[in-house]
Amino acid sequence: MPDVDAAEPRRKSADPGARAAPAKLSAPQQAMRRLGLVRDVDLALHLPLRYEDETRLAPIAALREGETAQVEGVVGDCRIDTRSRRQLLVRLRDDSGELLLRFLNFYPSQQKQMAPGQRLRVRGEVRGGFLGREMVHPAIKAVEPGAPLPQALTPVYPTSAALPQAYLRKAVASALARAPLAELLPAPLVPKGLPSLRQALQFLHQPPPGTPLPALDDRSHPAWQRLKWEELLAQQLSQLQARAERARLQAPALPAREGGVGTALRAALPFALTSAQQRVVIEIGADLAKAQPMHRLLQGDVGSGKTVVAALAAATAIDAGWQCALMAPTEILAEQHFRKLVAWLQPLGLTIAWLSGSRKGRRREQMLAQVASAQAMLVVGTHAVIQHDVAFARLGLAIVDEQHRFGVAQRLALRHKLDEQAQEPHLLMMSATPIPRTLAMSYFADLAVSTIDELPPGRTPVLTKVFADTRREEVIARIRDAVGQGRQVYWVCPLVEESEHLDLQNATATHAELSAALPGARVGLLHGRLPAAEKAAVMDAFTQGQTQLLVATTVIEVGVDVPNASLMVIEHAERFGLAQLHQLRGRVGRGATASACVLLYTAPLSPTGKARLRAMAETGDGFEIARRDLEIRGPGEFMGARQSGDALLRFADLQADEPLLQHARALAPRLLVEHPQAARAQVERWLAGRAEFMKA
């Protein structure tokens, strides 16, 4: 345990025989713990955000406007000026010229520190002013004549208000000297041309003068490459260890059975499965037949037919005498699944339980009894499925939809609902956000992945148009035409009520505006703050065609299926993520009628906003959308809950560092076999306490 506590001396006990009480942590030490800087190696791996070059002094006469420089001189004058606003003005002179230092906020102690005759070393941005060259609020340090300059660039670390840079620099330097950074791997296994880990960290914390800053900023320097390779290797090892541990676990074998619920369901479906659906059904069935827990991700674009695949997997479990639970992140999505599954499976004689936060009292107790007695062989719901009072008789298969929106603890809780002879249920996770290849190689390397890469026949491509909000009236006129032709329309808003901070059109105001603009149409309003019963009623009215226009927030992002809805308008589209825009667009184009999605934006657009809207207009392919989304914003949300606030990859970039990822991915299996102790030490060094997140 570090050595964070070693940064300050412990107080001695007054009684030599008394047991020393735990030393109270100072504010900086507490701040370090909050940042996860607990072990010496944590501090050693806490790398600078940027560097300041304090290794050189520039003559005042050579300063150029706009540059950041360091000068040294003697204070000639220090006074408070009150003409325009109260400020401290200091004149600093060296042999070449004079520089004005301006402080708009200052303490009396600073005025004393910069008294005339004091020698100062000053660093800041040079500006031009009426009184000549000046620096505003520069960093200052009193020095003696001939004081030596630093021999390395000065690191600037990620920190918090309670943790000063000077304190953190000392703590890092001290920890770096103590940290166990010995080479864990045989030298021939390390990519050629890379320094040792200790050399790399020493360099990155204290780059020598003259180090090219671009190579540090873009992380292309060999020292950065070594760190990123080490991190990727630890991640790959962790996932292989998780997969090996899972292979040692037991799960109920659920072989497919002819003539059971699965056979009857296939016969009753009003449509034929696509070849992609048939392929993934076979892949899932092969996993379910094994006595080891399945850990499979089913990915497919919006509308590709994942729910029927899940239903067939559930039927396989039920035919084998085991229960299945399906959990979705929102009540609307869970209810959509419930309705489909009831329509398909209830006529076959199955009882399906419904559990959600809104179901309480006697109805809930009845459902819990059906689950506990196995009268209900299929349970559908939200987070309510994993509450402590939900007891399954024999849970054999857990299905999690939109898995990236659940936390690790939530997914693990569902898996732990089977407590029979140390077995675990099989786990099938579903996502309509396809995972780019590089991401699948890293964050999801321990998962088996099934992909539905074709849409069912009859799905029409959605035409996407990008309009500035100055064309709002034109869009409303188009809605009027669509409603007049008997079509239904979505209008999506990012907020429910007005915000003082964001000038966004809100759902409540938009509902009132559109109701007035379309007097002959019934306009519904749906948002997350409505009571569950009211939400269900609004959704029912739209599903049954009684409501022509539905103004909604993103609660309709997933799960809503209304074939007659052929137009969607997304207000302030620049504020939505690319994956979310694609999910929302997937609510239309579900029938035979040509469909359109209008993205309304407010100028000016940021570069990220432009990139998102351009991608939406150029492609409807979910896999291409996912690839562009990864380029625009990195892997954060694709990981979903494979993180606990901190990304499992802190240094590596999946796009730029794919060659390093390929090397680490190829080496990891060999290390586990030939050097198992080194592999375990590598994971502990990099992922201490976080490797568990790979298992969920």
Q: Which residue has the higher pLDDT, 247 or 549?
A: 549
Q: Which residue has the higher pLDDT, 188 or 693?
A: 188
pLDDT reading at 669 higher than 90: yes
User: Mapping DSSP to helix (H, G, I), strand (E, B) and coil, where does residue 587 land?
Assistant: coil
- What pLDDT, in 10s, does the model give residues 241-279? 877 877 788 889 999 988 899 999 999 998 899 999 999
Q: 472 with 606, same domain?
A: yes
Read off the CATH number of the domain in which 64 is found. Answer: 2.40.50.140
Dist. CA 619–CA 379, nearest whole Å: 37
With CA atoms as reference, report the closest residue to 397 among 336, 479, 487, 309. 309
Q: What is the pLDDT of residue 534?
A: 86
Q: 176 with 265, same domain?
A: no
The answer to whether residue 325 sits within a structural domain is: yes
The answer to whether residue 353 sits within a structural domain is: yes
Q: What is the pLDDT of residue 167?
A: 93
What is the pLDDT averaged over residues 526-545? 85
Q: 290 with 378, same domain?
A: yes
- Of 188, 218, 248, the residue at which a domain comes to its end is 218
The answer to whether residue 692 sits within a structural domain is: no
8 A C-beta contact, residue 279 and residue 325:
no
- What pLDDT, in 10s, does the model give residues 219-249? 889 999 999 999 999 988 988 887 787 778 8
Retrieve residue 435's tokens. Answer: 């995972």
- Of 184, 218, 252, the residue at which a domain comes to its end is 218
The answer to whether residue 529 sits within a structural domain is: yes
What is the β-pairing status of strands 378-381 and 323-327? Answer: parallel
Q: Which residue has the higher pLDDT, 560 or 11?
A: 560
The answer to whether residue 127 sits within a structural domain is: yes
Q: 99 with 114, same domain?
A: yes
Omega within 30 of 0 (cis) for the link into 604: yes
What is the pLDDT averaged over residues 431-460? 71
Assign 584 a pLDDT band (cuts: 50, 70, 90): confident
- Per-residue DSSP letters for 100-119? EEEESS--HHHHHHT-TT-E
Dist. CA 350–CA 347, nearest whole Å: 7
pLDDT reading at 573 higher than 50: yes
User: Mapping DSSP to helix (H, G, I), strand (E, B) and coil, where does residue 594 land?
Assistant: coil
Residue in the structure block whose two tokens are 């800041």:
124
Dist. CA 476–CA 469, nearest whole Å: 11
Q: 282 with 312, same domain?
A: yes
Q: What is the pLDDT of residue 91?
A: 95
List the Cα angle 26/27/29 in 5-degree steps.
65
Mean of all residue pLDDT scores within the chain: 84
Dist. CA 12–CA 25, nearest whole Å: 15
The answer to whether residue 685 sits within a structural domain is: no
The answer to whether residue 18 sits within a structural domain is: no
The answer to whether residue 594 sits within a structural domain is: yes
The length of the chain in residues reads 696
In the chain, the percentage of residues whose pLDDT exceeds 70 is 86
Indicate the DSSP class of residue 193.
Answer: T
Q: Which residue has the higher pLDDT, 408 or 624?
A: 624
pLDDT reading at 496 higher than 50: yes
Q: 473 with 558, same domain?
A: yes
Q: What is the pLDDT of residue 13?
A: 42
Dist. CA 688–CA 344, nearest whole Å: 46
Q: Return the minimum-mean-pLDDT range out of 172-181, 312-321, 453-462.
A: 453-462
Q: 475 with 567, same domain?
A: yes
Q: What is the pLDDT of residue 638?
A: 43
Q: What is the pLDDT of residue 559?
A: 55
Q: Return the minimum-mean-pLDDT range out of 94-108, 198-212, 416-430, 452-466.
A: 416-430
Q: What is the pLDDT of residue 178?
A: 94
Assign 157 a pLDDT band (cuts: 50, 70, 90): very high
What is the β-pairing status of strands 119-125 and 139-142? Answer: antiparallel
For 425, phi then psi, to 5°, come to -75, 160
Residue in the structure block whose two tokens are 């059904």:
281
Q: Return the minimum-mean-pLDDT range out of 68-82, 128-142, 351-365, 662-676.
A: 351-365
- Of 149, 180, 204, the residue at which a domain comes to its end is 149
Residue in the structure block whose two tokens are 């997937």:
586
Read off the CATH number of the domain in which 569 is found. Answer: 3.40.50.300
Dist. CA 358–CA 533, nearest whole Å: 8
- What pLDDT, in 10s, does the model give residues 278-319? 999 999 999 999 999 898 889 887 778 899 999 999 999 999
Q: What is the pLDDT of residue 339?
A: 85
Dist. CA 508–CA 506, nearest whole Å: 6
Q: Find all residues with CB under 8 Å of 337, minimum gap 6, and list them.
A: 307, 310, 326, 328, 380, 401, 559
Q: What is the pLDDT of residue 499?
A: 54
For 202, phi then psi, to 5°, come to -60, -40
Q: Which residue has the higher pLDDT, 540 or 384?
A: 540
- What pLDDT, in 10s, does the model give residues 97-156? 999 999 998 888 888 889 999 999 999 999 987 778 999 999 999 999 989 998 888 899
Q: 492 with 612, same domain?
A: yes
8 A C-beta contact, residue 186 and residue 675:
yes
Indicate the DSSP class of residue 12.
Answer: P
Dist. CA 385–CA 373, nearest whole Å: 15
Assign 94 a pLDDT band (cuts: 50, 70, 90): very high
Q: 444 with 564, same domain?
A: no
- What pLDDT, in 10s, does the model give residues 628-641? 877 776 554 444 43
- What pLDDT, in 10s, does the model give residues 175-208? 999 999 999 999 999 999 999 999 999 999 999 9
Indicate the DSSP class of residue 683.
Answer: H
What is the tally of structural domains in the chain? 4
Q: Which residue has the higher pLDDT, 406 or 615?
A: 615
Omega within 30 of 0 (cis) for the link into 164: no
Q: What is the pLDDT of residue 17?
A: 47
pLDDT reading at 444 higher than 70: no
Q: 482 with 560, same domain?
A: yes
Q: What is the pLDDT of residue 123?
A: 94
Q: 272 with 338, same domain?
A: yes
8 A C-beta contact, residue 386 and residue 671:
no
Q: 346 with 435, same domain?
A: yes
pLDDT reading at 653 higher than 60: yes
Q: Locate the DSSP E strands across 367-496.
A: 378-381, 395-401, 426-431, 448-452, 462-468, 488-492
In the chain, the percentage of residues whose pLDDT exceeds 90 is 43
Cα end-to-end span (Å), the chain = 27
Dist. CA 681–CA 204, nearest whole Å: 23
Q: Which domain holds residue 574?
A: 462-619
8 A C-beta contact, residue 687 and residue 238:
yes
Q: What is the pLDDT of residue 420?
A: 54
pLDDT reading at 70 higher than 50: yes
